[in-house]
Structure 1
Amino acid sequence: MTSTPIARPATRDEQRLAPQIHLERLLNIQEIYHEPDAFQYARGQEILSQHSNASLIEVPSHWNIPDLHGNEGSVDDWTRIKRTVLVLGVKKSLQARPNSRSSDFVAPSHANGCAMACSYCYVARRKGFANPITVFVNIERVLGYLERHAKRQGDKLEPNQVDPQYWVYEIGENSDCSVDAAICDNVKDIITLFRRIPNSKATFATKCVNRQLLSYDPQGKTRIRFSLMPAAKAQIIDVRTSPISDRINAINDFVEAGYEVHLNFAPVVYYEGWLDDYTDLFRQLDDTLSDRAKQQLQCEVIFLTHNDRLHDVNMGWHPKGEDLLWQPDLQETKFSQTGGKNVRYKRGLKGSLVEQFQELLHQEMPYCTVRYAF
C-alpha cells in the first residue's frame, strides 16, 4: 500500500514569489488602443516603450471603441481581452465626489477597467461587453487637482467612521490599483503625493498582491483594503485574482512597509454553509496576522448586490458563477441612483445575515472593528 505524501507548507520565499508570478500571468499586452494625444505625454511614452511590439490602434476616445464597448461578440473573448488589450486615454473632467463609507471623497480616476474578471464587478456593466484596463496618461493633472482639493478642505476637525484624523480619498473606485501599478507609476505617484499632503490619505481595495508596492514608502498615508471571501467561492467568482491565501499572507508585510491595512469582506454571498466557511476564514486570519497588524485592523462588510444586465453578460462567459450570484427567490429589486436595475437579498433576510456575520466576526476576531456593514 502506497501512502499519500503530506504536502509541504510553502516557505516564506515561495509565499512571496507566488503573487508576482500570478501578476505576470495577468497581462500580456498585444494591442494598445490610444487617443490621438496619448503619446504626447511622458507616461504614454513610458508605457509604449515597455510594449514596443504591441499593435497600436488610434481611437477618437477611450470611451468610443466599437471593437470593445457594445460589441456583444466580445463576451466570448472576455478574459483574453483583459489580458492582451490596453487602452491609453487623456483624463478630461476632474472631480472629487463626496463619499461617506470607504472614503470622504472619490478621487478622479487614474485608470478604469481591470485585468481581473470578478463576475460580480459593476464596472463591466458600465463599459459594455469588454472591460480591459484604461490608463490615463496625464497623471500630473490628476495629481495637481488632488493636491489643490485637499488643501481647500483644511484640517479634519471632527472624526468620522472613515478616519479620525485625515480626509480619505478613494483612488481605486473603477480599477484595482495593485494591477494598475504593474503597468506604470500612476499609483506610485499618487501614494507619493499623499505622503506629503498633511491633512489627507489615500485608500483602495484590492484583490491582487503586488509586492512592488512594498517599496513605495507610504508612511501611514495610504490605506489598503484587502478583499477577502472564503477561498472555495473565490475560485468560482473572483476570477483571475490572487488566491485568498496570498492576500492573507501579504497583510503583515504591507503593515511593516508602512501601509494601514484593513479588510474588505465583499461581496458576502449567502449559500448553505456560508457561516462555516467564514469561520474557517476568520481563524486563518487570526492564525496569520501579527500583533501589529491586529492592533490596527478594521474592516468593512458589503453583502452582494447584483444586476440583471450583468447577469445576462455573465451567462455568456461564466454561467457557473451565476449559480451563486443570481438567486431570484432570495433577492429583490433595487433601482440604483443612475436608474440601473440591481438585485440584493430581501430586506428581512439581509438584516439577519448582516447580524449573523458581525456576531461571528466578533466571536472569532474581537479586535477587528467593523467600520460599516450593509
Structure 2
Amino acid sequence: MKLFIPDIAYIDPKILKYKESKKTIEYLEKLKVPIVNSKKVVIDSGSPEENYATAKKTVLFTTNGQKKLVSCKPSADYQFSLSSSCPANCEYCYLQTTQGEKPFMKIFLNIEEILENIQTYIETNMPSITSFECASITDPIALEHLSGNLKECIEFFGRSEKGRLRLVTKFDDVDSFLTLKHNKHTKFRFTLNTPYVIDNFEHNTSSFKERIGAVKKIAAAGYPIGFIIAPIMIYDNWRVEYKELFETLKIALADYNDEVSFELIQHRFTKAAKELIVQRFKNTKLDLDEEKRLLKWGPYGKFKYVYKKPESEDMKKYISELINNNFELAIIEYFT
C-alpha cells in the first residue's frame, strides 16, 4: 500500500527543541508537504463531511505531556500514545464519536520523554512485568514513516527486562521493524477481516492480501503475533468467507511455531456513532438496524447495539471452532 502523505502539516514550535523534529521536517519538505508553523490547526472546509475528509489528510506534529497513564484492560496494563487518530476511514470505527468533527492526526515527537515516563511505571511495578498498548487511539504503523517513533519504542522494550509492548495495525508497512532487536518483547497484532468487510468498510487501509503479506514478514522476524478479528459481521456468505480467512492465515503461518492469540469482537454501534456514520458515509452498507440488535450497557458509560444473543452465541461458537481447527497453539483471549 502507498504510504500516507498528508495534504498539510502543522508544526508546533515547541517540538523544535527535540532532535526528532529536524529529521521529520526535512522529510516533509522532501515530500513537498505544505508546512504551517503553528500549534493551532485550522480546518474550515464548509460542511461537517468536508471537514472530516480534510482532517483525515491533516497532521499536527506536537508533544505528548501525559504523565498519568490509564488502564488498557484486557489488552495491557497501561496505554500510551505515540500519535492520535489515523489516516484510515473505517466506517464502523469506535473513534467516530470521540475525536470530534475534525479528527486530524497528531504525531508526538518527544519520544524520549514518553519512554522515560514509561520507565517509571516499569520500575514502580518491579519485579512484575508491565505491559503497554500503544495503538488504542491510533494506528502507529500508518504514521511511522513520518516520525520513526515506533522503531525507537520497539528497541526500548527490547532492552527492557520487565517492560512489554503491544500494538495493532491494519497496515502493511512493516519492513523497518524486521531487523530490530525486539527480543520478543513487542507483540504485533493485526486486525483481520474478510475481504467483504475490508473492501466495503475499511477505506484507506491495506488490503487483506497486503496484511497477510505483512503477517508473514513479522512472523519470520520472530515477533510474538496475535490477531484481532473485528468487527465480526453477519452477512450473506459470512460463514464461508470467515472459513477462508482462517484457512489463508493458517497457510501464512505454516512455519510459525509459537502461540498465536485471537481477540474476537462482534460488530457494535452506539446511537451517536450511527448518526455520524450515516452523515459521513451516505451510501454505507453497514447494518445499523436497531430492531435487529440487542441494547447492551458498555464499559465506558454508553449503550451499544450488539447482535442478539442467539446470533452472538452462534458467531462465537463458529469463529472459535475455526480458530481451534486451524491453529494448535491458539489462545482465544476474549469474545465481546
Q: Distance in 2 between matches of 1:296 and 1:324?
A: 33
Alpha-carbon contact 1:180-1:187 (below 8 Å) kept: no
Matched, 1:197 2:160: yes
Alpha-carbon contact 2:109-2:147 (below 8 Å) kept: no
Partner of 2:28: 51
Once the two structures are TM-superposed, the CA of residue 176 in structure 1 deviates from its matched residue by 0.7
Equivalent AA in structure 2 for residue 345 of structure 1: Y
Tell me the SS of whatever aligns to 2:2: helix
Partner of 1:261: 225
Structure 1 segment 71-220 matched on structure 2, within 5 A: 73-76=47-50, 78-79=52-53, 81-82=55-56, 84-106=57-79, 108-156=80-128, 166-210=129-173, 211-220=175-184
Alpha-carbon contact 1:36-1:60 (below 8 Å) kept: yes
Q: Distance in 2 between matches of 1:59 and 1:123?
A: 25
Q: Distance in 2 between matches of 1:54 and 1:227?
A: 29
TM-score (norm 1): 0.81
Partner of 1:327: 289
Once the two structures are TM-superposed, the CA of residue 56 in structure 1 deviates from its matched residue by 3.4
Q: Distance in 2 between matches of 1:23 and 1:218?
A: 26
Matched, 1:67 2:40: no
Once the two structures are TM-superposed, the CA of residue 79 in structure 1 deviates from its matched residue by 4.5
TM-score (norm 2): 0.90
Partner of 1:221: 185
Alpha-carbon contact 1:306-1:325 (below 8 Å) kept: no
Matched, 1:359 2:321: yes
**CA-to-aligned-CA distance 1:270-322 (integer Å, 9 cap, x gap):** 2232111111111111222223x25332211111222323322222332343x
Matched, 1:233 2:205: no
Q: For the structure 1 residues 213 and 78, does the alpha-carbon distance in structure 2 shift closer, same or farther, using more than 3 Å as the test?
A: farther
Alpha-carbon contact 1:72-1:129 (below 8 Å) kept: no
Q: How many percent identity over aligned positions? A: 18
Once the two structures are TM-superposed, the CA of residue 168 in structure 1 deviates from its matched residue by 1.9
Partner of 2:252: 288
Q: For the structure 1 residues 217 and 320, does the alpha-carbon distance in structure 2 shift closer, same or farther, using more than 3 Å as the test?
A: farther
Q: Distance in 2 between matches of 1:30 and 1:319?
A: 24
Matched, 1:31 2:18: no
**CA-to-aligned-CA distance 1:135-169 (integer Å, 9 cap, x gap):** 0121111010011111111133xxxxxxxxx4321
- Can you give the 5+ residue segments of structure 1 that lack an aligned partner in the other structure? 1-21, 157-165
